[in-house]
Structure 1
Amino acid sequence: MSAMSPTVEAGTAATSKRRAAHLGPERRRPQILDVALEIAVESGISAVTVVAIAQRMKVTRPVVYAAFPGRTQILEALIAREERYFGEAIAQILRNRQVDATEGVFIDGFVALLTAVQARPQAWLLLYGSPDVEVMDLFGRGRSVVSARCAKLLKPTLRSWGTLDAEAKLPALVELWVSSGEGAVRTLLAQDDAAPTWTPDSLGSFIGEAVYRALRTA
């Protein structure tokens, strides 16, 4: 078979570029945000630029600009998207979850959390590994929601357990619960993928048991 002529090669390259451009802004936006997330996890929010995104996607900068006016809008859309994903994940984990005197309820909650982390690790790596102000704001908002929900669930449970000075202990116990979840997430994300020590089930069970015992005996 004869080698492709330079003219045909050039035509093929031009066709590929036209097809890339013709995907349209609506179809390009999720791709751009996915690439922006990859870059942010690898190098930080400051490394997310239109040029970096275009190079990673192997498209021209006008293709990116057709989907977003500029870098600021890309970052705003990325943070908004990840906040929505986190909100949905946390809502699913805590939905209709009545914390009672059983260890299994705590285990189920931590397993659900870590399963969500495993399903979307890059987003959680951004949340837990970035020092950028935008990401820290997102982390703070998410943590406030989780803490408030955990306090609402735990308060009647401490009463049913007969915990002494339950009102005074509640903030500290909620902090213990939430911080344990954050530690579990970091542990899952930090392990070697080639030889993982934990799965969401095994780590969720371990942390769930430990938190239940700590709260139950407080």
Structure 2
Amino acid sequence: MTSGATRSGSKKRPYAPRMAPEERREQILDAALDVIVEHGVGRVTVDGLAKAIGVTRPVIHSQFTDSNDILRTVLKREEARALAQLTEVFESVGQIPTPENIAEMIRAYLRAVLAEPKRWRAILLPAGYPPAFRKRLQRGQKLITDIFEQIARASMPPNTDVEMLAKALLALLLDAGRIALEEPDDFPPERIASFTASMAARVLSHDQQV
């Protein structure tokens, strides 16, 4: 029997390269995000992640208590990064909701979505998320709605239902992102943005006439 084999004749599993704790933590979270996107939340397990990145269970447990801890952390991480992307989108677009500005907002948003498809699939297509995680997503959506309300109150006519407008804009963002992810060939960002601009022009023109 050779020195590199076990008694059964099979070779030992090679060790994963050593990493700094923070790097290992990010590697685990990246692997969890891959599982969420490809197989759903229910398939995120300590054993599965350990196998995926080539480490033992104790390595995973050195960073996280269990799979729920991993899920909470990866969702929190991706939520924060998504909000940072959206902040850049809002800051790059004018505060007055003209059709052109709304179209540019959609373009910038879809560019952000398509630049990080795994992140946005986990956020926009959250199949199987338990109530606690859905509640976190809802909190993030409320932050976006509040931003839309602030813009609408400062720029739209006094008789505008800013709450409904904000919710409609949120629904538009969410659906546009889903369409861009699921049907990118048929619905590229420019097509979605152009349609949005034409619809916004009709709505804003109507408001000015009223």
Please report the TM-score for the alignment, with normalisation by the length of structure 2: 0.83
2:182 matches 1:190: yes
2:173 corresponds to which residue? Answer: 181
Question: Who is 2:20 aligned against?
Answer: 24
CA distance in 2, matches of 1:44, 1:120: 18
- Aligned mates of 1:187, 1:85 — CA distance in 2: 21
Q: 1-side partners of 2:133 and 2:38: how far apart?
A: 14
Identity %: 24
Residue 89 of structure 1 corresponds to 85
Name the amino acid aligned to 1:205: S
- Report the counterpart of residue 46 of structure 2 in structure 1: 50
Work out whether 1:156 is the aligned partner of 2:148.
no
Can you list the C-alpha shifts for 1:98-153, whole angstroms capped at 9, x where unaligned? 33263211111111111110011111111122241243122211111111111111
Cα-to-partner distance string for 1:48-101 (whole Å, 9 max, x where unaligned): 110111122232222222332322321221122012112201211112643326
Q: Aligned pair 1:99/2:95, yes or no? A: yes
Cα distance change on mapping 1:135 and 1:72 into 2, 3 Å: closer
Code of the residue aligned with 2:40 in structure 1: it is: G
Question: Does residue 171 in structure 1 map to residue 159 in structure 2?
Answer: no
Instruction: Quote the RMSD (CA, aligned, Å).
Output: 2.6
Query: What are the ranges of 5 or more consecutive residues in structure 1 without an aligned counterpart?
Result: none
State whether residues 68 and 74 of structure 1, in contact with CA within 8 Å, keep that contact through their aligned partners in structure 2: yes
Distance 1:121 1:184 in 2: 13
1:197 and 1:46 mapped to 2: Cα distance?
Answer: 31
Q: Post-superposition shift, 1:15?
A: 9.0
The corresponding residue for 2:108 is 112
Partner of 1:202: 191
2 CA distance for matches of 1:106 and 1:6?
69
In structure 2, relative to structure 1, the CA distance for the partners of 1:184 and 1:79 (3 Å cut) is: same
Q: How far apart, CA to CA, are the structure 1 residues paired with 2:42 and 2:205?
A: 44
Q: Distance between the aligned counterparts of 1:104 and 1:31, measured in 2?
A: 40
The number of residue pairs the alignment matches comes to 201
Aligned partner of 2:200 in structure 1 is: 211
Aligned residues of 1:103 and 1:208 also touching (Cα < 8 A): yes
Distance 1:108 1:6 in 2: 66
SS in structure 1 at match of 2:156: helix
Q: CA offsets, 1:170-200, max 9 Å, x none?
A: 22222222211111111111116xxx12332
- Identify, as 1 or 2, the structure richer in helix: 1
For 1:104 and 1:143, the matched residues in 2 are separated by 24
- Residues 50 and 61 of structure 1 are in contact (CA less than 8 Å); yes or no, is this contact kept in structure 2? yes
Tell me if the contact between 2:72 and 2:133 (Cα under 8 Å) persists in the aligned partners. Answer: no
2:66 to 70, 95, 107: 70
Alignment partners' CA distance in 1, 2:204 and 2:166 = 9
